[in-house]
Copies of this chain bind each other. A is one copy, B any other.
Amino acid sequence: MGRRRGTTKGDRRERAILDTARDLLSTTPVGRLTIDQLTAGAGISRSSFYFYFDSKTAVLEALLDEIAEEMVEAARRWLDGSGDDPDSLRHALEVSARLWREHGPLLRQALLAEDQEFASFRENVVARYVKEGAARIARDRQEGLAGPGPDPQSLAHALIRMKFAVFAADSSVEAVETLCAVVRRAMYGALPATGS
C-alpha cells in the first residue's frame, strides 16, 4: 500500500481529489457529493478513485482533520489564558466563524448530524474542546476569577455546542458578538438576588 517518496503523479492526483472535494463542499451538501464529481474534478475514472481512498467518507475525514486542526489552534490563546478575556475569546470565535463559512456543509454534517461515519471524529473534536474548556472554567473559579455556576464539564459542553449550532446557521460578525456575550455571561455573569 505504501507509496514511493517524492511527489509522484499519484500524490498529485490524491491532492486533486482532496482539493476538488474541498471546492465542491463549500457549496454542495455532503449528501449530494458523488464520487463521480470527485473523479471528474480530478481527471480520473471512478474506479481509479478507489486506489486513493477507501470511500467517500475517507476523503471527508482527511479534509476534516485539516480543518479541525485550524479550529483548535485558533482557540489556543483563549483556552490557555485565564479570567474574562474578551479579545482572545473573540479571536477564537472569529476564526471559527470563518471556517464555518468556508466549510459549512461539511462541518454541519460531521459535527451536527448524527452520521455514524463521523461519530468518532465528532467525539474527538467535541471531547477535546469540552475537556479544555471545562479546565479553564474550573481554573477561573479556583482562582476566584469567576463565581460559582453549573458543572464546568456540562457548561463547557453547552457552550461548545451552542457555538457549533449558531455558526452552522449564521457565521456573521453579529453572531460572533452575541456568542461572545453569552459565553462571558455564562462564565462570569451573576444573577440578581432572585428575579422579580
A115 within 8 A of B: yes
A196-B158 contact in complex given A150-B178, A177-B150, A189-B185, C-beta closer than 8 Å: no
A102 within 8 A of B: no
Chain A residues 137 to 166 lying within 8 A of chain B, measured CB to CB, are: 145, 149-151, 154-155, 157-159, 161-162, 164-166
A148 to chain B, nearest CB (A): 10
Chain A residues within 8 Å of chain B by Cβ, number: 51
A99 within 8 A of B: no
User: Which of B113, B116, B145, B192 is A190 in contact with, Cβ under 8 Å?
Assistant: B192
A41 within 8 A of B: no
User: Which of B83, B149, B168 is A112 in contact with, Cβ under 8 Å?
Assistant: B168
A77 to chain B, nearest CB (A): 15
A115-B174 contact in complex given A149-B181, A150-B181, A191-B184, C-beta closer than 8 Å: no
Contact indicator per residue, chain A 178-195, by CB within 8 Å of chain B (1) or not (0): 110110111011111011
Inter-chain contacts of A192 with B (CB < 8 A): 84, 188, 190
Listed in ascending order, the chain A residues whose CB lies under 8 Å from chain B are 29, 31, 83-86, 104-105, 108-109, 112-116, 126, 145, 149-151, 154-155, 157-159, 161-162, 164-166, 168-170, 174-175, 177-179, 181-182, 184-186, 188-192, 194-196
